[in-house]
Amino acid sequence: MGEKLTDAGALALLTLLRSDSSIDSKVASLTHAKSSIKQHNLPDACVPPLFESARLAMTSQHTALVNAGFTTLNHLLTRMTRQEPRAIVREAKATLP
């Protein structure tokens, strides 16, 4: 079972995705965050960095990272639908076309 995602973890993921780290480490970190999103409620402060992380991943040139970004966004939208639907409205303008 994955660990609960913290504010620091969400910001660390965002920092990693913006860095020049390897694609494999980015995909692994995003997949770990996806598992946490799937299993645990999220603190409110985690939501904006997670949406931004999904946006960064989905606009990547690497297929594995794009795939991980879309699946993470799917789990994030599902979690927010159950937990705090208003968060989707706040982030939808920047995330969805």
Q: Tell me the pLDDT tens digit for each residue of 66-80.
A: 999 999 999 999 999
pLDDT tens track, the chain, 97 positions:
568 999 999 999 999 999 999 999 999 999 999 999 999 999 999 999 999 999 999 999 999 999 999 999 999 999 999 998 888 888 877 776 5
The pLDDT value given to residue 87: 83
pTM for this predicted structure: 0.90
Residue 94 contacts residue 55 (beta carbons within 8 Å): yes
Is residue 3 in a domain? no
Q: What's the domain range around 75?
A: 24-95
User: What torsion, rounded to 10 degrees, do the Cα atoms 23, 25, 27, 33 define?
Assistant: -150
Does a structural domain hold residue 2?
no
49 in a structural domain: yes
Is there a domain that residue 30 lies in? yes
The total of structural domains in the chain comes to 1
Confirm whether 10 is domain-assigned: no
Model pLDDT for residues 47-56, shown as the tens digit of each residue: 999 999 999 9
Q: Within a domain: residue 53?
A: yes
Whether 7 is covered by a domain: the verdict is: no
Residue 31 lies in a domain: yes
